[in-house]
Homo-oligomer: A and B are copies of this chain.
Amino acid sequence: MRIGVLGRGMVGRALSGKLAELGHDTRIGTRDVASAMANTEAARDGSGTLAEWAARTPDVQVATFEEAAAHGEAVFNATAGMASLDALRMAGEKNLDGKVLIDVSNPLDFSRGFPPSLAVCNTDSLAEQIQVTFPGARVVKTLNTVGAHIMIGPGNLAGGDHAMFVAGNDQEAKTFVADGILRDGFGWKRVLDLGDLRAARGMEMYLPLWLSLMQANGTAMFNIAVVT
């Protein structure tokens, strides 16, 4: 299918590259294509500059937020959480209406250094703010609880025996994401439906523990499993 991935960082690159590899007609969106392609800053994951990554990934077309969203039958929000609402406004409400919007972002505020705080939490979440701002979008929260490499390759960690969560108000959209994207696409074996989009609060509020675990483990290559 046609998919738009908003955000050209490590997460957006990993997702769009994998989606193209799976046969989806994928575009990756950024604010300003010319300026992003001219950016000489290399990503921390070794994928280089955007131009270098794009040259190695010819199946993914670099586009504006608006073009990527208009292109997609489903749209991923893989922008930095603090910039997500702006990026989605640039993508355009009409380009999100009626579409499954898969929100993988976290509202991490690094303005006071590391560890970041959350810009929204407790009685609200970024996913809920996105849903309220774009009521026509079918928002599904998922994948925000793991690093980019685990998102698209859960089998590379402990044979895939660990947990992914989904939350959203639209059951059909959630089933599409859980089965079509996570299970059949990326290979997630243990997808747990946490209910409506209010459950995104817990998924986003897990981030401070994730950051502590990353520091304790010395790597982002980990996840949690739910043991019953």
Interface with B: A24-32, A38-46, A97-105, A156-164, which one? Answer: A156-164
B212 to A222, Cβ gap below 8 A? no
Oligomeric state, in number of copies?
Answer: 2
Tell me, yes or no, whether A83 is within 8 Å of chain B by CB. Answer: no
Total chain A interface residues with beta-carbon distance under 8 A: 43
**Chain A contacts with B in 192-219, Cβ cutoff 8 A:** 192-195, 198-199, 201-203, 205-213, 215-217, 219
Which B residues touch A117, using CB under 8 A? 122-123
A175-206 vs B, CB cutoff 8 Å, 1 = contact: the mask equals 00000000000000000111100110111011
Per a CB cutoff under 8 Å, which of B121, B216, B222 touches A194? B216
A-B contact pairs, 28 of them (CB 8 A): A117-B123, A121-B121, A121-B122, A122-B122, A122-B208, A158-B228, A163-B224, A165-B212, A194-B209, A194-B213, A195-B215, A199-B212, A202-B209, A203-B209, A205-B208, A206-B206, A213-B226, A217-B226, A217-B228, A221-B228, A222-B226, A222-B227, A222-B228, A223-B227, A224-B224, A224-B225, A224-B227, A225-B227
Q: How far is the CA of A195 from the CA of B157 in the complex (A)?
A: 25
Residues of chain A whose beta carbon lies under 8 Å from any beta carbon of chain B: 115, 117-118, 121-123, 157-158, 161-163, 165, 167, 192-195, 198-199, 201-203, 205-213, 215-217, 219, 221-228
